[in-house]
Chains A and B, each alone.
Chain A
Amino acid sequence: MLRHLDIVRNRVREQRTQRGLSQAELATALGVSRQTVISIESGRYMPSLPLAFRIARFFDLTVDKMFDPDNEESAT
């Protein structure tokens, strides 16, 4: 039913590695488990809107810069 959500890419891994953070450190900062960070990075889990905002704010980006519904590879 919500298959279109499966193709939403995100830049969590890219932003995390740019800042030299581990998945565990990011998870602690966001208040989620390391497994959830892994799932979000791999695109297996779509975060809720509040968590998406937390992630975007953590990286000083907007939600639409962080999560790309058009599946584009545009630079941030």
Chain B
Amino acid sequence: MMRSIPPRLRTPLIGLAFGAGFAAVAVAAYGWRSLLHLGPVIILGPAVYYVWGGRNSDSAAMIRYQTDERQAYRQLKIQAVVGRVMSGGASIAFLAAWAAKVTLWPFEIFLALFVVALVAGWVITRERGDGRDDSPGGPHSWLTFRQ
């Protein structure tokens, strides 16, 4: 289904769908007046994202899912920075919550997610045969050389 949607429209539409869901919950909980505050953000956010995606820039290429190798590498570095800041922030927040003796479980969820994501990333990006020494006389020489 996603492939039938133009790349530039994907993220704004996802934002719009989540925004509509959030608005529905807000209306159910707080009434129609909550839409006065939420509505502009829910509509303007994806609209700005869509317009930005039409520019000739790295960020626009990322929005359109049309990155070349440098832009994809830059995107990875940005995600790495975000990951480090978020995991560091969650760790500091956990320690602060522990010191203040307040509820810990929300922070524990973030730390558990960090560990799960780390393991998942390690498994997903692993290379088969990585680290095997197949040089003559090496433990895996049978892979390359006939004994």
- Chain A residues near B56 (CB-CB < 8 A): 33-34
A40's closest neighbor in chain B, by CB?
A: B70
- Chain B residues near A33 (CB-CB < 8 A): 56, 58, 61, 68, 70-71
Whether B58 lies near A47 (C-beta < 8 A) is no
Q: Distance in Å from the Cβ of B65 to the closest Cβ of chain A?
A: 13
Residue-wise, chain B 43-70 has the 8 Å CB interface mask toward A (1 for contact) of: 0000000000000111001000000111
- Chain A residues near B70 (CB-CB < 8 A): 32-33, 35-36, 39-40, 45, 47
Q: Distance in Å from the Cβ of B60 to the closest Cβ of chain A?
A: 10
Whether B69 lies near A32 (C-beta < 8 A) is yes
Interchain residue pairs with CB less than 8 A apart (5) = A32-B68, A35-B58, A36-B69, A36-B71, A48-B69
6 additional A-B pairs beyond A31-B68, A34-B56, A36-B70, beta carbons within 8 Å, are A32-B70, A33-B56, A33-B58, A35-B58, A40-B70, A47-B70
